[in-house]
């Protein structure tokens, strides 16, 4: 029998490091959490990185090559500069012989290291790159609105832009195949919706913007998840291919390989290619909302055998950034978003809200993911 831990009772999984900071987590009689059970029962048995996975994916790779043989590029790959997207570009080109057009969406928050890593991959693999720059005034306005709304997932505007820009580009330019760096290896523990609500629920985004935004969003890339799952999938015929689940993808080895071949430099933490995300994950959410997204990242790595539970406990016991850096970043982000430090501090101290406080399409989206789960298209837990 599993039970939902009460709000006052602290519990941490005995197998990974997910804990009751996720309000809906449940534990079995051995103290193992439902993310772990889900991984062992549903994800792991269907995950074949290596020969079986490669054999399974070859028919689609051959189809991509065949259909694209007279075109300049046969597929589209989004690159953020992070490890997943950099490594998938390398695998697509060097292991599978694909000829991708690379796509980058610049939301105004690229770290210097992120920019340099993108360049290294593009030049090292001799690829073509298209960059879409999001209108900064609109980006800023939507980010300000999210901060004022007091929901925890203030990275939604950035996430939505990255997602929408590439699929809108694919639809407009008739790309049928989008290769993504999404993977089980580092992302099998999908954070609770209380931590990160669907950034592609545009009903939700628009409601928050209507209540707290000041400017009209004229060019902001916006692709709703329901449009993506229906029109883009079935009318435009866009297919998303997750190559990294078919090959061995061990984070430490991938970093070494990219470094040796292209001089690609490691980040101290996942998602640190964006200065905003670094601030958001290492300061805003742990300090204001009392959850640490590293729990999900490290737990994924524990489950996929890349980190021991003790290492994870050691890492999570210390913040990723020191106090002085965090303070500097607080002021940097406030200034960049046109908040005074006082205004930003007030928001930080303000009452926290959740996605349920604003209009949303939760019902339809979760219905969609439940159907995907029944059909075996999605094995991660959504709740």
Structure tokens given for 73: 């590029």
Closest approach, Cβ 245 to Zn ion, in A, equals 21
Closest approach, Cβ 374 to Zn ion, in A, equals 24
Closer residue to Zn ion, CB minimum distance, 15 or 156: 15
Q: Report if residue 192 touches Zn ion, rule: CB under 5 A.
A: no
Closer residue to Zn ion, CB minimum distance, 118 or 312: 312
User: Which residue from 5, 12, 16, 254 is in contact with Zn ion, where contact means CB under 5 A?
Assistant: 16
Q: Report if residue 17 touches Zn ion, rule: CB under 5 A.
A: no
Q: Number of residues interacting with Zn ion: please give it, by CB under 5 A.
A: 7
Closest approach, Cβ 50 to Zn ion, in A, equals 25
User: Which residue from 5, 12, 15, 295 is in contact with Zn ion, where contact means CB under 5 A?
Assistant: 15
Closest approach, Cβ 39 to Zn ion, in A, equals 8
Closer residue to Zn ion, CB minimum distance, 11 or 239: 11
Closest approach, Cβ 307 to Zn ion, in A, equals 13
User: Which residue from 5, 12, 13, 83 is in contact with Zn ion, where contact means CB under 5 A?
Assistant: 13
x/- binding map, residues 28-67, to Zn ion, per CB under 5 A? -----x-xx-------------------------------
Q: Report if residue 91 touches Zn ion, rule: CB under 5 A.
A: no
Q: Report if residue 302 touches Zn ion, rule: CB under 5 A.
A: no
Q: Contact region for Zn ion (CB under 5 A) — 13-21, 42-50, 205-213, 256-264?
A: 13-21
Show contacts with Zn ion in window 94-123 (CB under 5 A): none
Q: Report if residue 296 touches Zn ion, rule: CB under 5 A.
A: no
Closest approach, Cβ 189 to Zn ion, in A, equals 8
Please state the three-class secondary structure of the chain as a single string: CCEECCCCCCCECCCCCCECCCCCCEECCCCCEHHHHHHHHHHHHHCCCCHHHHHHHHHHHHHHHHHCCCCCCCEEEECCCCHHHHHHHHHHHHHCCCCEEEEEEECCCECHHHHHHHHHHHHHCCCEEEEEECCHHHHHHHHHHHHHHCCCCCCHHHHHHHHHHHHHHHHHCCCCEEEECCCHHHHCCCCCCCCCCCCCCHHHHHHHHHHHCCCCCCCCCCCCHHHHHHHHHHHCCCEEEEHHHCCCCCHHHHHHHHHHHHCCCCCCCCCCCEHHHHHHHHHHHHHHHCCCCHHHHHHHHHHCCCCCHHHHHHHHCCCCCCHHHHHHHHHHHHHHCCCCHHHHHHHHHCCCCCHHHCCCCHHHHHHHHHHHHHCCCCCCCCC
Closest approach, Cβ 347 to Zn ion, in A, equals 33
Residues in the chain, total: 383
Structure tokens given for 250: 């061990």
Q: Report if residue 188 touches Zn ion, rule: CB under 5 A.
A: no
Q: Contact region for Zn ion (CB under 5 A) — 8-16, 40-48, 231-239, 252-260?
A: 8-16
Chain residues binding Zn ion by CB under 5 A are 13, 15-16, 18, 33, 35-36
């Amino acid at each position: 029998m599993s039970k939902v831990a009460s709000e006052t009772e602290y519990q941490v999984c005995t197998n990974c490091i997910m804990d009751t900071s996720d309000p809906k987590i449940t534990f079995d009689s051995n103290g193992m959490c439902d993310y772990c059970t889900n991984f062992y029962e549903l994800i792991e048995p269907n995950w074949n990185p290596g020969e079986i996975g490669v054999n399974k994916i070859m028919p689609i790779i051959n189809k991509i090559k065949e259909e694209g043989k007279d075109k300049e590029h046969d597929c589209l790959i989004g690159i953020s500069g992070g490890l997943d997207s950099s490594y998938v570009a390398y695998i697509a080109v060097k292991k599978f012989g694909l000829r991708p057009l690379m796509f980058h969406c610049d939301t105004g928050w690229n770290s210097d290291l992120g920019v340099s890593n993108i360049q290294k991959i593009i030049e090292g693999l001799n690829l073509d790159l298209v960059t879409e720059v999001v209108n900064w005034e609109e980006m800023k306005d939507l980010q300000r609105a999210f901060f004022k709304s007091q929901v925890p997932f203030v990275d939604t505007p950035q996430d939505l832009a990255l997602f929408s820009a590439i699929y809108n580009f694919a639809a407009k330019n008739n790309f049928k195949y989008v290769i993504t760096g999404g993977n089980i290896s580092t992302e099998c523990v999908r954070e609770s919706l209380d931590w990160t609500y669907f950034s592609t629920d545009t009903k939700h985004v628009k409601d928050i913007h209507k209540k707290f935004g000041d400017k009209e969003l004229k060019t902001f890339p916006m692709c709703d998840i329901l449009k993506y799952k229906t029109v883009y999938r079935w009318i435009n015929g866009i297919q998303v291919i997750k190559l990294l689940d078919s090959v061995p993808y061990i984070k430490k080895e991938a970093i070494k390989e990219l470094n040796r071949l292209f001089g690609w430099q490691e980040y101290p933490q996942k998602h640190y290619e964006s200065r905003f995300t670094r601030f958001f994950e290492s300061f805003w959410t742990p300090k204001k909302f009392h959850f640490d997204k590293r729990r999900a990242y490290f737990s994924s790595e524990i489950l996929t055998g890349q980190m021991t539970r003790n290492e994870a406990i050691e890492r999570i016991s210390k913040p990723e950034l020191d106090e002085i850096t965090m303070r500097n970043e607080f002021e940097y982000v406030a200034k960049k978003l046109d908040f005074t430090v006082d205004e930003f501090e007030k928001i930080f101290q303000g009452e926290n809200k959740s996605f349920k406080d604003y209009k949303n399409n939760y019902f339809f989206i979760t219905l969609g993911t439940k159907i995907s789960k029944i059909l075996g298209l999605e094995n991660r837990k959504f709740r």
